[in-house]
Amino acid sequence: MNRPHAFSKGHSAYPRGSAFSISPNSFQPRSQPALRRRRQLFQRLCLLAGVSFLLTILIFPSWRAAVIPTLSLGLIHSSGDLQLQTVRYYDLSEVQGSEKGWERGERVLMLTPLRDASSHLPMFFSHLRNLTYPHNLIDLAFLVSDSRDDTLRMLSSMLQEIQNDADPKMSFGEISVIQKDFGQKVQQDVESRHGFEAQASRRKLMAQARNWLLSATLRPTHSWVYWRDADVETAPFTIIEDLMRHDKDVIVPNVWRPLPDWLGGEQPYDLNSWQESETALALADTLDEDAVIVEGYAEYATWRPHLAYLRDPYGDPDMEMELDGIGGVSILAKARVFRAGVHFPAFSFEKHAETEGFGKMAKRMKFSVVGLPHYTIWHLYEPSVDDLRHMDEMEKERQAQEQIEREHELADKQKQSSNSESQNDAEKGSSEGPAAQPPKDAAKGNSKQDKS
């Protein structure tokens, strides 16, 4: 509708503007005749240059790498590995480890050896999530060895979950899951794990496993290394900071475990943290070069002061004690200790192996090795076979007792509301029956003291 109108308008406007402004100079001589004349020459020169360039590139293949990417504007990639960073530079003097590592952004490598540990994993991961040390500064590494349950699958899915957590502060740094079987023949149940004969070879295998885990995952960026077993039941969320504040080369907390009431309620667990004694040194001299002294067995009476027995529940948690051998449940060490070569001897080192040998070797290299007698973490209580049998007996007794009570109740409804609530408290389906427990049971204490 509007068009013709607009056209006519434009048309009418035309003569006014340009009809008389046509330049009279349109037939001027060409501006650059010389260039025109040499055009052919230019074309030939370009052609020649192009052909010679192609020829040189064909003849000298080594030039291509330099020439092609610049000419093709990145269209022809000789290969994609131009996108790889291959050189890394590290200054180890920047990763010495200090008492306030979290403020200086010091990286911690947290190491956990696992074997048939799927039942402990949910508990372990709840501890992980609760750690107050900045998670992005913690690198996690696990060694899954000789496992017959689905530890590996569970571990991967739980790690995946934590890394994809909606809270960006929840995810950790580098995560490595190492699989390596050492052909562990020794059974994992408490009984055989702590038998005396099996100890030396078991400790050597454990040492080997720890060394494999450490050597595969220690990086030049780490300032601290934190060893933590999966079967710790209770530990402060701030444990890394708490241990770090002491600024020692190697430091361990006290490790106890809770027990059912009929076994005394609690018990020292980790007997591998000790101070050297004259008796033990004398004993060591009498032993064969390859012998391994293990603590807590009557066969080796060492009379060493143990960290575990020095605990006072109301003592100062910051109190320190010099140690020579240490246990492996929870060790915080400066990474420089491991860089210097200190490791878990899988051979007899000064008559000791694994974590005790580690303590000895650290001492030998003049590092400080310290324990905190009044700062306690709690190891999971796994009932021994004897305990289980005993618990069974008690359970039967309790049920019999309840039966009697129920009969009483039926007979006399008004008298008692119920005392069967206590049934819910019993954690591992055990104990804590009514006060009717025979006193000899409580004194029996037949659960062996455990060594990690």
Partner 1 sequence: MAVARSMRRTSPISLLLAALLAFGFICFLLTPSSSSSSASASASSSRQRQQDAAEHPLSPPTKPFLKSQSYRSDGYQAAPPVVHYNLNNLTSTSDSIVNGERILILTPLARFYQEYWDNLEKLSYPHELISLGFIAPKTKAGNTAIAALEKAISKTQNGPIDNRFASISILRQDFEPPLTTQDEKVRHKLSSQKDRRESMSRARNSLVFTTLGPSTSWVLWLDADIVETPTTLIQDLTSYDQPVIVPNCFQRYYDKNSRKWDIRPYDFNSWIDSEQAQVLAKDMGPDEILLEGYQELPTYRTLMAYLADLKNLDPRRLLELDGVGGTALMVKADVHRDGAMFPAFPFFHLVETEGFAKMARRLGYGVFGLPDYLIYHYNE
Q: Footprint of partner 1 on residues 311-350 (CB under 8 A)? A: 336, 338-341, 343-348
Rounded least distance, CB 84 to partner 1, Å = 4
Segment lying near partner 1 (by CB under 8 A), choices 152-160, 185-193, 249-257, 376-384: 152-160
Nearest to 301 by CA among 444, 192, 196, 194: 196
User: Count of CB atoms within 10 A of residue 411's CB?
Assistant: 8
Rounded least distance, CB 63 to partner 1, Å = 11
Among 108, 159, 294, 307, binds partner 1 (CB under 8 A): 159
Give the position of tokens 């009984």.
Answer: 191
Among 171, 184, 238, 368, binds partner 1 (CB under 8 A): 171
Nearest to 391 by CA among 449, 357, 345, 441: 441
| All residues at 6 or more sequence positions from 350 whose CB lies less than 8 Å from its CB, including other chains | 284, 357, 360, 364
232 has which bridge partners? Answer: 379
In the complex with partner 1, which residue's Cβ is closer, 283 or 426? 283
Rounded least distance, CB 244 to partner 1, Å = 18
**Per rule CB under 8 A, is residue 164 in the interface with partner 1?**
yes
Tokens (6 digits) for 49: 């240059």
What sign results for the dihedral spanned by CA atoms 50, 53, 55, 57?
negative
**Per rule CB under 8 A, is residue 96 in the interface with partner 1?**
yes
Enumerate residues 362-381 that contact partner 1 by CB under 8 A. Answer: 364-365
Among 206, 207, 280, 333, binds partner 1 (CB under 8 A): 207
CA angle 237/230/252 to nearest 5° reads 60
In the complex with partner 1, which residue's Cβ is closer, 221 or 254? 221
Among 49, 216, 404, 443, binds partner 1 (CB under 8 A): 216
Instruction: Give me the 54-73 binding string for partner 1, x by CB under 8 A, dash otherwise.
Output: x--xx--xx-xx--x---x-
Give the position of tokens 């934190």.
Answer: 226
Among 8, 52, 78, 399, binds partner 1 (CB under 8 A): 78
**Per rule CB under 8 A, is residue 273 in the interface with partner 1?**
no
Buried b (16+ CB within 10 A) or exposed e, 281-304: eebbeeeeeeebbbbbbeebebeb
Among 101, 113, 173, 328, binds partner 1 (CB under 8 A): 173
Enumerate residues 6-65 that contact partner 1 by CB under 8 A. Answer: 39-40, 43, 54, 57-58, 61-62, 64-65
Among 5, 9, 91, 299, binds partner 1 (CB under 8 A): 91
Among 123, 154, 178, 291, binds partner 1 (CB under 8 A): 178
Rounded least distance, CB 159 to partner 1, Å = 4
Enumerate residues 380-419 that contact partner 1 by CB under 8 A. Answer: none
What sign results for the dihedral spanned by CA atoms 265, 257, 294, 147?
positive
In the complex with partner 1, which residue's Cβ is closer, 118 or 171? 171
* Exposed / middle / buried, residue 432 (Cβ in 10 Å: 0-12, 13-18, 19+): middle
Enumerate residues 125-144 that contact partner 1 by CB under 8 A. Answer: 139
Rounded least distance, CB 209 to partner 1, Å = 10
In the complex with partner 1, which residue's Cβ is closer, 150 or 189? 150
Question: Which amino acid appears at position 363 of this protein?
Answer: K
Segment lying near partner 1 (by CB under 8 A), choices 7-15, 80-88, 189-197, 370-378: 80-88
Segment lying near partner 1 (by CB under 8 A), choices 83-91, 185-193, 300-308, 324-332: 83-91
Helix/strand/coil for 193: helix
Nearest to 212 by CA among 175, 179, 174: 179
Three-state secondary structure string covering 199-248: HHHHHHHHHHHHHHHHHHHCCCCEEEEEEECCCEEECCCCHHHHHHCCCC
Rounded least distance, CB 213 to partner 1, Å = 9
**Per rule CB under 8 A, is residue 104 in the interface with partner 1?**
no
| All residues at 6 or more sequence positions from 338 whose CB lies less than 8 Å from its CB, including other chains | 214, 218, 225
Rounded least distance, CB 342 to partner 1, Å = 8
Give the position of tokens 């750690």.
Answer: 131
In the complex with partner 1, which residue's Cβ is closer, 283 or 340? 340
In sequence order, what DSSP letters do the residues of 46-71 get, joined into one string? Answer: HHHHHHHHHHHHHH-HHHHHHHHHHH
352 has which bridge partners? Answer: 349
Count of residues in contact with partner 1, rule CB under 8 A:
74
In the complex with partner 1, which residue's Cβ is closer, 13 or 71? 71
Q: Do the beta carbons of residue 270 and residue 327 sit within 8 Å?
A: yes
**Per rule CB under 8 A, is residue 180 in the interface with partner 1?**
yes
In the complex with partner 1, which residue's Cβ is closer, 29 or 341? 341
334 has which bridge partners? Answer: 224
Among 84, 298, 410, 435, binds partner 1 (CB under 8 A): 84
